[in-house]
């Protein structure tokens, strides 16, 4: 799947990042892809993966005034309306992932809305369209104002962080080198701050 305008990181037989996003048209060189989890196979010839953060969390969030009650566990989501996210790489719907200790589950949800951009779910969830499964940094404002509530925090999987994939080259383009170095320093600073 290639973007007509802009940049699309695609999955080609598992060789590139599995999470993709179309970005607006830009004249900037396109040498970078991002994903929230490392890919199991080596993408491209000899890539580098730079973690950009180490503590993002995923959660499910419901309107504070939900008429459907709160699901007690991931299996109870069958009784609730969810906001689905369509994967841009293959068109499939993203299954929500849950983890509590050694228990790992995936849940497919039904609902009135399927989105291709998480920002649409961010706007729809507080309006009561359904439960959303998103990275919590997208929802801080809504959580603080009480428009959304986090559900089942004990089932929230911790993510290792965001990863950047870029071609292995001795001479990276200058702007890309500066950007990668900046993100690596941010990851180190975040790790130092969280440990002490």
The verdict on 151 and 183 lying in the same domain is no
Alpha-carbon dihedral sign for residues 141, 142, 146, 152: negative
pLDDT 10s digits, 78-126: 889 999 999 888 899 999 989 898 899 999 999 999 999 988 999 999 9
Judgement on whether residues 138 and 63 belong to the same structural domain of the protein: yes
What is the pLDDT, as a whole number, of residue 6?
38
Residues 69 and 114 in one domain: yes
In this structure, is residue 188 part of a structural domain?
Answer: yes
3-state secondary structure of 72: coil
If asked whether residues 135 and 187 sit together in one domain, one would say: no
> Does residue 71 fall inside a structural domain?
yes
Structural domain containing residue 42: 33-50+159-169+176-195
Shared domain check, 184 and 137: no
Mean pLDDT for 162-191 is 74
Same domain, 111 and 148: yes
Query: Are 165 and 148 contained in the same domain?
Result: no
- Distance (Å, whole) CA 1 – CA 8: 8
Nearest CA among 44, 55, 36 for reference residue 163: 36
Q: Are residues 89 and 76 in the same domain?
A: yes
Q: 2 vs 142, which has greater pLDDT?
A: 142
Shared domain check, 136 and 81:
yes
Considering the domain architecture, whether residues 105 and 78 belong to the same structural domain is answered as: yes
The pLDDT value given to residue 172: 76
Number of separate domains in the chain: 2
What digits encode the pLDDT tens for the residues 7-56?
333 333 333 333 344 445 454 455 555 544 444 444 433 334 444 443 45
DSSP string of 74-107?
GGGGGGS-BEEEB-TTT-PBPPEEEEETTEEEEE
How many Cβ atoms sit within 10 Å of the Cβ of residue 25?
A: 11
Residue-level length of the chain: 196
- The band of 193, judged by pLDDT with boundaries at 50, 70 and 90, is low
């Amino acid at each position: 799947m290639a973007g007509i305008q802009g940049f699309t990181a695609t999955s080609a037989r598992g060789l590139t990042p599995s999470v993709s996003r179309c970005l607006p048209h830009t004249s900037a060189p396109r040498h970078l892809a991002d994903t929230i989890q490392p890919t199991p196979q080596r993408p491209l010839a000899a890539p580098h993966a730079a973690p950009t953060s180490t503590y993002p969390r995923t959660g499910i969030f419901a309107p504070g005034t939900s008429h459907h009650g709160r699901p007690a566990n991931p299996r109870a989501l069958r009784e609730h309306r969810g906001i689905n996210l369509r994967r841009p790489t293959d068109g499939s719907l993203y299954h929500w992932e849950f983890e509590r200790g050694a228990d790992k589950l995936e849940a497919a949800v039904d609902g009135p809305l399927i989105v291709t951009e998480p920002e649409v779910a961010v706007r729809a969830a507080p309006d009561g369209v359904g439960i959303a499964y998103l990275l919590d940094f997208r929802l801080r404002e809504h959580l603080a104002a009480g428009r959304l509530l986090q559900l089942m925090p004990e089932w929230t999987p911790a993510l290792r962080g965001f990863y950047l994939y870029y071609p292995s080259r001795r001479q990276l383009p200058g702007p890309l080198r500066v950007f990668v170095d900046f993100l690596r320093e941010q990851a180190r600073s975040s790790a130092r701050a969280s440990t002490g």
